[in-house]
A and B are shown apart, each in its own frame.
Chain A
């Protein structure tokens, strides 16, 4: 193999698994260390710069970081990254003085359609540059699906209002209760650019199922129903409720039903339990609230009696997988299952819908109904003045993805408004790499990993929780628990940087490495090299760090897979050929860099 190019920031970026997996590339280990140091405000600001909604995400994020966490590969459970983020938000001081304000006017005007996380991120990134921003939303408040679809018992209004407020207070002109029904009418105004962040507003239905029309009064589309609950148009539901679907929206629907009068609430889903789209912890939360999940049941009929919905019929199936692993649901041949109910909530997915975008706008769509966009960097549509982001770009995803889209779209919009082509010469990420050496054998971080286990976040008593639609179920970590949980982080951003010219091949590093990551071997092609290491590098998703040729003709090969970043290789190195250097990476943003790596 060729020597690894550590000048390419993406190499070390990939080593920080959590940050790499985060769509907005939040510098996770950096803020977790700050939490351990009780520097909650600093931890919050690092988050805020990257993901704009730390308090919201600390409660609701889909957490792509946690399955990626290296700790999950050396023991049972990853670091509780998401809930530590909430700790930063819960215990921070007043941050208003630290936030950027609107910059001096630059004479450019941008319209933001939809007030969700994508649009708000664009606003956050463009406001300090002096853009005049106009945000349109059909509701009375901004927040998008963070407000309309995430129930208040998971995300209190105050938390959302605070973080939405930080953005709007940067001088954003809001046009609430204004449903934009024509993109052309916006294009006809003097906006220099238009960002569409209107989400994926149409919930899928089961229009052809028998009884659908007759029972319409008691059948609700999940996302519309949640929104109507959030804006207090809906205040109750029947005693017996069936929720169809297996995603996170279904979980929010069933748990909300329990708080609106639903006593016998069931989730009924076509797929096997393990294949459900909902995050494992959201399924657990639903089950904890006494909601059974019936899997492998395909809806067949709404049963109507005397003009009113009385139940549903389901066909039992089992999942079979072909040689390519493709799943098909095959009926078991048993009798249809009848489940009585008063109301049904359909939460089987969402799709994009743009009835308000006219052909004349030049914005064209794929056969899937999503806009044709250059790529997932520029977010520019076929009308160069119009940019998309969030769910409206590629279909339903999650908040953190919408934020990442917003950052990238803001860069594109800024380039476009300055007469540059957003496809080329996009700004590079902000990167620093600094030695963490404090003494001969001392590092600036707690280098030796602790063995404490992950702890669950404490909850309010179930009885109390079910009584209220707004009482937050999760209590959050206290500072003591947060410290222990923060210390579980392996500091993967403390990179093992190797200088081959300094190496005398004494083997000290390979002898001391607790997880046998470092080998000195003859060079070879990657597959062969992977097998020749002290422990074969079988996790192909993790890179090998290969040095240049050493004096004996061998090369140093480090398998990044289970490196603990404990720094012992560097401590035992007599010539400082190894050094632990903190890699701080933030994705390119339109706004100037706000937070540097902590001292």
Chain B
């Protein structure tokens, strides 16, 4: 198996605003199974960071344990990263975000890491609205331990060994909506046209941005009977295409009137939802929950931006933390001396 990627790149690779090519956002060569949906998500994250021209050293990747959590090695080789304990990435991400609020945080997790062992942490991450992008590579099975059903496996899905799943799966997007997440989306690893702008929007969003990505496990969950195979996902896919337009950038794509809806983010960038009808409201949480439930009942895999609160207050704002990152504050600022202490004490007398 090749363990190195050739050094040569296309001589005419486009560059972004920083002068970087997409190759500058590459990581090590993947050791996941050939054809794994996770590799496609890695590529989508790489492409999104390239397109949004985020300096690689201003990004931190955090993950837990599992096939999904190996992914950060395979993209953004020049960024910061922390591979934490199983299901405990939310704690690390929370701490990191508090210590340095200026970095862009990308959390990568899986259905096991989030919906089983990490469920307790995940819920609180949502509740606290930590400013990060949280991607779940959701394949409905434990690929690293030979494909047992995971907590997101759909009711009735047939495992590779033939066993039919008797339990209803946890719908992580519905859960995030219910718990008050400020940005909720669903996508499919095989649809980069949608996934890339979603990741860009999630990174631009101030607050917790959750993307549940159906990511087929080619080795253990890509057979007939599986509800999360490439073929089955495509068969039931109901994708809402979208574009992401960063702040201060002109919209160059022409849309026919009445077929698109723009959602403006806090920083002025915009998401253009193509094919969205007039009744669709991205910022209506109850409507979003309805839509998700309806799609589930219809057996459709509804993908796209499900909900967005453009005015959300993230953890740093809610805690009234210093606007400068805590890790940049020096001794004099953190320990301003007896004179200041005296004046505070005076104020409390």
Interface residues of A (CB under 8 A from B): 73-75, 440-442, 447-449, 451, 504-508, 510-512, 514-517, 535-536, 538, 551-552, 562, 564, 566-568, 571-575
Contact = CB atoms under 8 A, between A and B. Distances in A.
Given A441-B2, A574-B33, A507 B190 contact: yes
B interface SS class = loop
A535 B10 contact: yes
B35 A74 contact: no
Given A442-B1, A506-B216, A552-B234, A538 B8 contact: no
Contacts of A514: 5-9
A142 to B, nearest CB: 45
A516 B25 CA distance: 14
B19 interface: no
Interface in B168-210: 189-190, 192
B11 interface: yes
A572 B11 contact: no
Given A506-B35, A568-B2, A572-B30, 20 more contacts: A74-B11, A448-B2, A448-B4, A504-B222, A504-B230, A504-B231, A505-B190, A505-B234, A506-B190, A506-B216, A507-B190, A508-B35, A508-B39, A508-B40, A511-B39, A514-B6, A514-B8, A516-B10, A516-B22, A572-B39
Contacts, number: 104
A440 B6 contact: no
B42 interface: yes
B347 interface: no
Contact of A508 (B9, B12, B36, B231): B36
Interface of B: 1-2, 4-14, 22, 29-30, 33-37, 39-40, 42-43, 189-190, 192, 216, 218, 222, 230-231, 234
A133 to B, nearest CB: 49
Among B2, B9, B43, B222, the most chain A Cβ lie within 10 Å of the Cβ of B2
Among A448, A449, A507, A575, the most chain B Cβ lie within 10 Å of the Cβ of A507
Contacts of B189: 506-507
Given A506-B216, A507-B43, A508-B39, A574 B34 contact: yes
A194 B43 CA distance: 64
Contacts of B14: 535
B101 to A, nearest CB: 32
B5 A505 contact: no
Contacts of A551: 231, 234
Among B12, B29, B218, B234, the most chain A Cβ lie within 10 Å of the Cβ of B12
A interface SS class = loop
Contacts of B9: 514-516
Among B4, B7, B33, the most chain A Cβ lie within 10 Å of the Cβ of B7
Given A505-B190, A573-B35, A441 B10 contact: no
Contacts of B7: 449, 451, 514
B13 A516 contact: yes
Nearest to B29: A512
A74 B13 contact: no
Nearest to A572: B34
A449 B6 contact: yes
B1 A562 contact: no
A506 B231 CA distance: 10
Contacts of B22: 516
A508 B6 contact: no
B37 A506 contact: yes
A517 B12 CA distance: 11
A440 B4 CA distance: 16
Nearest to A75: B8
A504 B232 CA distance: 11
B6 A506 contact: no
B43 A564 contact: no
B34 A573 contact: yes
A449 B14 CA distance: 23
A457 to B, nearest CB: 25
B21 to A, nearest CB: 10
B10 A562 contact: yes
A447 B190 contact: no
Contacts of B190: 505-507
A71 to B, nearest CB: 9
Contact of B10 (A511, A515, A552): A515
Contacts of B34: 441, 508, 571-574
Contacts of B6: 448-449, 514-515, 564, 566, 568
Nearest to A576: B34
A480 B33 CA distance: 37
A304 to B, nearest CB: 56
A380 to B, nearest CB: 45
Contacts of B10: 515-517, 535, 562
B39 A505 contact: no
13 contacts: A440-B1, A441-B1, A449-B6, A449-B7, A506-B37, A511-B43, A516-B22, A517-B10, A535-B14, A567-B2, A571-B1, A572-B34, A572-B35
